[in-house]
Structure 1
Amino acid sequence: MTSNPLKLTTLLPLLTLSLVLAACAHPDPPASPLPNDTVAVHGDDTLPGSTHGHAHDVQLVQPGVPEAFQVTQARLSPERLIIPQGDRLSAQSLPTNLQPNKVALKVLVLSSGPSDFGIGAAKAMLSQAGVPFEVLDATSTPLTPETLIASDGTGKYQGVILTDSALTFQSSPGFYSSALDTNEWATLFEYEKAFKVRQLALYGAPTTAPEDYGLRLVYGTEFATGNLNVTAAGRAAFKDLTGSAIPLRYAYTYTAQLEAVPGVMTQPLLTDDAGHVVAATSTVDGRERLILTSAQNPYLLHTQVLGYGLVQWLTRGVHLGEHRRFLQVDIDDWFLNGDEFDPATGGLRAQSFRLSASDALSARDQQRALDGAYNVVNNFRYAIMFNGGGANAASLKTCTPELYGSLIKDALSSVSRCMAYDFDWVNHTRDHQRMDVMDLPTSTTAIAGNFSIGTQLGLQMSRKSLVTGEHSGLGYMDPTDDGTRNDDGFSQPKQDLGLGRSNPNLITAATNSAVRYLASNRSVASQWDASCPTCGIPHPFNASLLLVPRYPNSIHYHVTTPEEATASYNKLYAPGGAAAYWDHAFDYAELLDVDSTQGVGHLFEGTAWPTYMHQTNLRQYAPGKSVATDWVKAVVDKYARYSTLPLNTLRWDDLGAYVQRHTLEEKAKATNAYTAVWNRATNAVILSRSGGSVPVTLTGAAGGSMYGAYEAKQLTLGSTVNVLVKPK
């Protein structure tokens, strides 16, 4: 390879269509298309209230792909890409004390400035894997040997991500410049060669500048909608993929063909339906590179599917942190009567709905069938958020209540006692009252009283966990609420007043009841950590109480059948709806398809956040079927089509403990609380910490627990330890 990149070349513009994707920094689903993402949808008139003082909002979940994703496919004219000439003839000399076998476990992301459309995808895939990284804006910060190499000669980075292969930005109308000059490119390449550091280009139109990948553009075959087909080499590189074709939508894609170049070895990983190359690894002069020719965005399915494998390839499967995936589904309001939507009127039926004994037994059987139907599903079970005020603990324990006559005071209570170990039972307060403004004795009764009822029923409860009604008490509330209407229906308008407006009585009652994990609303900005999307939030009133966010979906709280689910959805999103979005009314299959696409995106994110639905959604509308399980199956069907990584389901107490440890670990990495250096000569990672102990997870560690094709070991680090690793 030459160290003198071309000063000027021609190529299709990297940004013209791709800049459309810059507008795709839309709110993370499930954001609402409306100013407030949670509203009470009451049609033309206020809907009647529910029994047990229980009413709900309808979560407005972003229904599909924003218009910004509608990428046009106009043919583009060639433009000019300028690689600025550096002030030297070659790369800056690397230090004489070089230790090329030692690299820090951190990734460098090179960005082309504030308008860089690829930075979101780079940050997302690294954050989801827990990989520490630094971003260098190459338009404002020079790239020098000191940037890349520590004073002791150790490499600062184990991998390099280019947001696009030439770090392109529009320097003047019609012209595109690289953010690195010829010397900086040469310095980067010399570092990668000396330290055997892999380079990942998240997007590019491969030509010969700033380097040659052994690929040439096939003009006139660009596309924004198609399939990415995984080659045999692709299955070896992306060890988590099933090999099924990956649908690509709304992302401009260049296509290429192999070109014989002396010294360059190129291996296609992904191809389009015509066999053109859209991703490949390429080696030259001892350097390993991977280039994608499709634009990436963290909200698009192809980026979500590929992200895990790209990070593992870049790091050789050795990095701080881990990426795991979870299938957590909560069912709220068990034992209560709930509203039921009437498709004929668009309002509520006069009769409320409560699960029958046969509905409940079917829910158990449905989760068992789902768990057995997929290799990727591990011990799936619903988490049942129960309100004991609607139960009767004196009802006989049995799964056949029809046989016992007057001994059955309440059939749902009887079969719930029988299924005490079949679900994860979680405290949802005794009566589902709103807790935004509630005194301490009432708050205590709501929480501790429900634990007492669960004990009387013999339920195997997650005793450290709590979900309040409407996620109330955490500052997302009607600011005029004075606490006199806690039994009323849903109070609107709600505003995000921040966790500082949480009800201190709720926090005190929860901690006094030994609660440590409190569900929050992932749709509310103050109730999740945007700086660490996989972290929980220690409550500011009491750091021993950790908020665990939950996602809503588009299976509304008051629907019990496919007809009701579809009619309620269309009332919002079909033409003429309250939040009209689609150009036609959906049928049930379309509803499941669209919403499961959002749901599967949450799985690929690697967050442990549950999706919550309601007891109404578990009605057995046909033998062995409910809209809740239909939704879960639709999500898992999509997931299992592409990925082999296991989906874990944890009991809420275990989930909270996992999130708590993970949060401490991520915060320790963010503050550089310890160092991690990989000595490739000994295949050991040296972890060093002075001070108090911090949790550490090391993927690639020998003797760790297996997840997919990689091992990960959890450690508590308080000094210096050497950990053997097994790179892939």
Structure 2
Amino acid sequence: MKRIRTLVLPVLLAAAVTSSVASPATSAAPGDGHIEQAHEHPLIRAEIARPKPPPAPRLPVLNTLATKSLSLQNVQISALTKVRLRVLVIATDAQDFGLPTWKSILDKIGQPYDVMLARSQSLTAAQLVNNDGTAKYNAILLTDNGLISQGTSAFDSNEWSVLWSYERANDVRQVALYSAYGTFPEDYCLRAGSEGPVTTPVQATLTQAGAQFFDYLKAGARIPIADSYAYRSRVAPGCGAQPLLTAGADVLGVTATTADGRERAALTFSSNEYQVHTDLLGYGLLRWATRGVFVGEQRHWLNIDVDDWFNHTAHLYPDGQLETNPGFRLSGPEVSATHAQQNSLRDRYPLAGEFNLNVPYNGGLLHPNAPSRCSAVNTPDPLTSFSRCEANNFRWINHTLTHPTMDNTPYTQNVNEIRNNLTVGRNAGLVVPTEVLKTPAYSGLGVFSASPSGPLTDNGLPASNPALLQAAKDLGVKYLHGNMSFAGHRPSCFNCSIPHPLQPTISVVPDWPVNIGYQVTTPDEQTYLYNSLYGPDGEFPTHPRDLAYDEILALEAEVGLEHVLSGSAYSHTFHQGNAHHYTAGKSLLFDWAEEVVRQYNSWYQVPLKSPDWVTLAEYTKARTEHFNETRTGPDPVWDKVLNTVTVNADTTGTLFVTGAGFLTVPSERYGADLITQAAVRPGLPLILLAQPR
């Protein structure tokens, strides 16, 4: 055993088993028991905490406006029977606090939208109607109810009249992301209570109407409102409004109907794109505004990869010693214990009933003569025996045979590493998809060090190893794992993948990194590593003091939960050492998963999706096609008389539509929403039946 006493600052995400690129002649043969010494890798860091929002703005409470009168002109807009599935976001200017919030909500869903900056652009009736006689927008989204900046509304009386006439004539709903009480420019039935910054988090509750409005949330969910400015309001008696959110006697959100039938909704506290309450409520606001018929979709996902199965990884001890020969390797009984943890999570949290671990494995240490049984007796390798016994309880991914760094590996070695690992796994009874490959430490994809001990440099996907890409293509690989820590691996759209610029038949699907080190197996080890990095004396000082394990776990789970709440489908990467049972029924991996699922379960009543990796990758490819179509193609048109949605396309690919479907088009019922994944192509209109809410 080799132990090095040092301040360890190795990679948190990418596991390590070999330090140099082996030539094809020295690569391990399938299942020959070849053992590599564990080594360190360059540092890859994950996000440390959910970003903090900027200071929340205060809105003036206005019943009249001294600088502008609101003497409405008699603007008439004709009623139209057809409306395009596009929404209009109206902000005061480019610096409007609510603008990035609305854009973030819509971009994640995949809903096309236009932005109007009211202070520099004028609204006319012609801007709201297309040349073909269809209404241009299916919903109006205001950053605040009065578009107020410096005490003045960015709209004059005629512009408000144009907007309201359009909404009234075409039965279009309006949502104000932020509203004060007061009656300017129109009355939401909100009356003065109190106002001020939310310094201590407020736990808002859903009213009966709110539980129907946000029906994907549990009726008893507590909505945490923090780092916000709130107008704790009252609803005027006899006024046409219903509270949605309350905190005690205070009203924090309403729907309100005007005397002429226009429907509006508003929150009375500020919302930023990084806040939990935005994640919880934003989707519901858009869905209500569009009557549940819109382009795009949102679901919630939880996927976890456990890299380097069968291999040794470097092992860090709480005193800073690093064991690298041979390092840490799971025991056989820990495989069954991990399966038991997986079952327990699903049993205790039915919303996670689909959850199943993905296991990227290195078959170089899989023993071909180890029998398939959950017993350590009479087997040359208990880990292999238990893994074969439990094979159908996990989902296996090709992670190469011996885990070489693949930035410069030649074609023949790449073929051997990919093909031989498949052979080893399948001969052992593992079901392994051909289409997916996870390279060691995401190597070969343009991120590498100029020197063995230098920092990683993201040189972009064009700097990938062409020999790796050619070998992968020739062996049937369609999807490579990327890493969201690298700018070059981040897709340009939410939940998308990147067709590789050197090999477009292969897409790069990124993973989320975590700050739970590949080389740690216990809370003490994780605590030492984390504080070595992020404590006051660490390499990246972030926290004013060293943190305890419970505090570190809370921060890491908060970041993971942010991804889940946002609707991100990407997998989170852990390593085989994190699955070690440091005490009965406890591992770092499931400490994290338990906390993420527990918090999700406290809010939602829609399930967590956990597809296999091929299905996940195909979904990201479909999302990429969706955004390509929404950028260039015409908007789908909802005929409100026939109650049909007509989809025309400029590209061949996929378009997601929520709230409309047809028997012959693939659809999924997710909670109360019907989500359709429509195959589209130019010149072939697709007719869906709308299911408005």
Larger mean Cα displacement after TM superposition, 192-201 or 134-143: 134-143
Matched residue type, 1:600: L
Work out whether residues 320 and 528 of structure 2, in 8 Å CA contact, stay in contact via their aligned partners in 1: no
Residues 92 and 496 (structure 1 numbering): CA distance in 2 closer, same or farther, change over 3 Å? farther
Separation in 1, partners of 2:64, 2:545 = 43
Write out aligned runs for 1:101-180 (5 A).
Answer: 101-169=81-149, 175-180=150-155
Matched residue type, 2:460: G
Matched, 1:658 2:619: yes
SS at match of 1:376: helix
Matched, 1:418 2:389: yes
* CA-CA distance at 1:157 after TM superposition: 0.7
* TM-superposition CA deviations, 1:361-402 (whole Å, max 9, x none): 111111111122212113211100101112222222221132
* CA-CA distance at 1:517 after TM superposition: 0.8
Matched, 1:429 2:400: yes
Separation in 1, partners of 2:195, 2:254 = 20
The aligned counterpart of 2:691 is 726
Write out aligned runs for 1:438-517 (5 A).
Answer: 438-478=409-449, 480=450, 491-517=453-479
The aligned counterpart of 2:628 is 667
The aligned counterpart of 1:235 is 211
1:676 to 623, 636, 646: 636
The aligned counterpart of 1:634 is 595
1:687 to 647, 656, 664: 647
* TM-superposition CA deviations, 1:114-160 (whole Å, max 9, x none): 21221222122222222221222222222111211112332111111
The aligned counterpart of 1:257 is 234
* CA-CA distance at 1:239 after TM superposition: 0.7
SS at match of 1:254: strand
The aligned counterpart of 2:484 is 522
Write out aligned runs for 1:592-607 (5 A).
Answer: 592-607=553-568
Separation in 2, partners of 1:259, 1:369 = 49
Work out whether residues 574 and 583 of structure 1, in 8 Å CA contact, stay in contact via their aligned partners in 2: yes
Work out whether residues 330 and 580 of structure 2, in 8 Å CA contact, stay in contact via their aligned partners in 1: yes
Larger mean Cα displacement after TM superposition, 653-662 or 569-578: 569-578
Separation in 2, partners of 1:72, 1:117 = 8
Separation in 2, partners of 1:268, 1:250 = 22
Residues 427 and 611 (structure 1 numbering): CA distance in 2 closer, same or farther, change over 3 Å? same
Matched residue type, 2:442: H
Write out aligned runs for 1:178-577 (5 A).
Answer: 178-220=153-195, 222-224=197-199, 225-242=201-218, 243-260=220-237, 264-272=239-247, 274-284=248-258, 285-345=260-320, 352-402=327-377, 405=378, 408-478=379-449, 480=450, 491-529=453-491, 531-577=492-538
Residues 448 and 316 (structure 1 numbering): CA distance in 2 closer, same or farther, change over 3 Å? same
SS at match of 1:253: strand
Residues 86 and 219 (structure 1 numbering): CA distance in 2 closer, same or farther, change over 3 Å? closer
Residues 385 and 93 (structure 1 numbering): CA distance in 2 closer, same or farther, change over 3 Å? same
Residues 57 and 282 (structure 1 numbering): CA distance in 2 closer, same or farther, change over 3 Å? farther
Separation in 1, partners of 2:528, 2:407 = 32
The aligned counterpart of 2:577 is 616
Separation in 1, partners of 2:151, 2:447 = 46
Residues 570 and 415 (structure 1 numbering): CA distance in 2 closer, same or farther, change over 3 Å? same
Larger mean Cα displacement after TM superposition, 160-169 or 338-347: 338-347
The aligned counterpart of 1:9 is none
Separation in 2, partners of 1:254, 1:519 = 46
* CA-CA distance at 1:636 after TM superposition: 0.5
* CA-CA distance at 1:678 after TM superposition: 0.9
Residues 382 and 91 (structure 1 numbering): CA distance in 2 closer, same or farther, change over 3 Å? farther
Residues 509 and 52 (structure 1 numbering): CA distance in 2 closer, same or farther, change over 3 Å? farther
Separation in 2, partners of 1:244, 1:571 = 38
SS at match of 1:131: coil
Matched residue type, 2:499: P
Separation in 2, partners of 1:268, 1:668 = 38
Matched residue type, 1:632: A
Larger mean Cα displacement after TM superposition, 337-346 or 453-462: 337-346
1:586 to 530, 547, 550: 547
Separation in 1, partners of 2:575, 2:659 = 40
Identity score, percent: 35
SS at match of 1:432: coil
* CA-CA distance at 1:198 after TM superposition: 0.9
The aligned counterpart of 2:73 is 90
User: TM-score scaled by structure 2?
Assistant: 0.89
Matched residue type, 2:235: L
* CA-CA distance at 1:465 after TM superposition: 0.4
Residues 138 and 41 (structure 1 numbering): CA distance in 2 closer, same or farther, change over 3 Å? same
* CA-CA distance at 1:91 after TM superposition: 5.5
Larger mean Cα displacement after TM superposition, 311-320 or 252-261: 252-261
Matched, 1:714 2:688: no
Residues 157 and 86 (structure 1 numbering): CA distance in 2 closer, same or farther, change over 3 Å? farther
User: TM-score scaled by structure 1?
Assistant: 0.85
Work out whether residues 496 and 620 of structure 2, in 8 Å CA contact, stay in contact via their aligned partners in 1: yes
Separation in 2, partners of 1:221, 1:168 = 18
SS at match of 1:218: strand
* TM-superposition CA deviations, 1:257-277 (whole Å, max 9, x none): 11247xx511111112x3211
Work out whether residues 679 and 685 of structure 1, in 8 Å CA contact, stay in contact via their aligned partners in 2: yes
Gaps of 5+ in 2: 1-8, 20-34
Separation in 2, partners of 1:111, 1:246 = 26
Residues 585 and 217 (structure 1 numbering): CA distance in 2 closer, same or farther, change over 3 Å? farther
SS at match of 1:108: strand
Separation in 2, partners of 1:83, 1:349 = 74
Work out whether residues 317 and 727 of structure 1, in 8 Å CA contact, stay in contact via their aligned partners in 2: yes
Work out whether residues 61 and 553 of structure 1, in 8 Å CA contact, stay in contact via their aligned partners in 2: yes
* CA-CA distance at 1:308 after TM superposition: 2.1
* CA-CA distance at 1:51 after TM superposition: 4.4
Work out whether residues 83 and 178 of structure 1, in 8 Å CA contact, stay in contact via their aligned partners in 2: no
Residues 41 and 151 (structure 1 numbering): CA distance in 2 closer, same or farther, change over 3 Å? closer
Residues 203 and 88 (structure 1 numbering): CA distance in 2 closer, same or farther, change over 3 Å? closer
SS at match of 1:280: strand
Matched residue type, 2:257: T
SS at match of 1:401: coil
Separation in 2, partners of 1:91, 1:495 = 62
Separation in 2, partners of 1:351, 1:472 = 22
* TM-superposition CA deviations, 1:436-459 (whole Å, max 9, x none): 222211222222221122122221
Work out whether residues 48 and 348 of structure 1, in 8 Å CA contact, stay in contact via their aligned partners in 2: no
Work out whether residues 210 and 243 of structure 2, in 8 Å CA contact, stay in contact via their aligned partners in 1: yes
Gaps of 5+ in 1: 1-38, 170-174, 486-490
Matched, 1:698 2:657: yes
Residues 41 and 462 (structure 1 numbering): CA distance in 2 closer, same or farther, change over 3 Å? closer
How many residues in Structure 1 have an aligned counterpart in Structure 2?
657
Residues 82 and 473 (structure 1 numbering): CA distance in 2 closer, same or farther, change over 3 Å? farther
Work out whether residues 189 and 240 of structure 2, in 8 Å CA contact, stay in contact via their aligned partners in 1: yes
Greater relative contact order, per chain length (Cα 8 Å cut-off, separation 6+): 2
Larger mean Cα displacement after TM superposition, 177-186 or 274-283: 177-186
SS at match of 1:209: coil
Matched, 1:64 2:49: yes
